[in-house]
């Protein structure tokens, strides 16, 4: 599978993103009750923020997933750990498939990690999923993330985890073996 990334265009992408973030499986995005206008406003805010980016992942030109990356130093995480140079935060939401494909989410996850680590300034990726999101915890660990403990953020209790470039490389070799 081959994926491309493009920045989210809030006015053009709001309806699509709304259809994703309001589905039951996306409950951890905490946008279940959001209107299309709310989603557009959220992503317009991200687009205007120099410390936060949102990308649509495309497969064969079709939207397949949403990825956000952010500077942990400019986020609530800065109060919970010693932010290091080269840290980059990440959120990921895979769009609903027309037909489920085994291994698809793993392929998306690996592509996102490769995209983030393609920036030579990124040394470590930081994630903070809801502690109840067991599916993403398993995927994070499969690709090299190591939990650092649970933290209380304004909107959730999160599992803070880190993955260095070396940990991802080693995990990727183990996944493809």
For residue range 44-84, what is the model confidence (pLDDT) as tens digits? 999 999 999 999 999 999 999 999 999 999 999 999 999 99
Both structure tokens of 9: 């265009």
Q: Which helix (H) or strand (E) holds 14?
A: helix 10-21
Both structure tokens of 16: 């699509």
Residues 6 or more apart whose CB falls under 8 angstroms from that of 114 comprise none
Residues 6 or more apart whose CB falls under 8 angstroms from that of 66 comprise 8, 17, 20, 21, 54, 55, 56, 57, 91, 92, 93, 95
Going from N- to C-terminal start, the domains of the chain cover 3-176
pLDDT at 174: 79
* C-beta of residue 71 within 8 angstroms of C-beta of residue 51: yes
pTM of the full structure: 0.94
Quickly name the fold that domain 3-176 has: Aminopeptidase (3.40.630)
Mean of the per-residue pLDDT values of the chain = 95
Of 157, 95, 167, the residue nearest 125 (C-alpha): 167
pLDDT at 175: 72
pLDDT > 70: percent of the chain: 99
pLDDT in tens, 84-104: 999 999 999 999 988 889 999
Of 114, 104, 123, the residue nearest 143 (C-alpha): 114
pLDDT at 70: 98
Angle at 29 between CA 147 and CA 24, to 5 degrees: 115
User: For residues 34 and 62, what is the distance between their CA atoms, to the nearest angstrom?
Assistant: 24
pLDDT at 177: 52
């Amino acid at each position: 599978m081959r994926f491309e990334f493009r920045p989210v265009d809030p006015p053009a992408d709001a309806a699509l993103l709304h259809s994703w973030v309001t589905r039951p499986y996306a409950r951890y995005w905490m946008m279940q009750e959001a209107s299309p206008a709310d989603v557009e406003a959220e992503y317009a805010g991200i687009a205007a923020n120099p410390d936060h980016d949102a990308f649509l992942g495309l497969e064969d030109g079709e939207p397949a997933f949403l990825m956000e990356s952010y500077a942990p130093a400019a986020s609530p995480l800065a109060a919970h750990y010693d932010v290091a140079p080269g840290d980059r935060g990440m959120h990921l939401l895979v769009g609903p498939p027309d037909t489920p494909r085994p291994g698809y989410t793993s392929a998306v996850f690996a592509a996102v990690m490769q995209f983030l680590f393609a920036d030579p300034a990124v040394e470590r990726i930081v994630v903070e999923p809801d502690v109840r999101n067991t599916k993403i915890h398993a995927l994070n660990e499969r690709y090299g993330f190591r939990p650092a403990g649970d933290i209380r953020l304004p909107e959730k209790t999160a599992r803070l985890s880190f993955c260095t470039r070396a940990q991802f490389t080693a995990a990727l070799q183990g996944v493809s073996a």
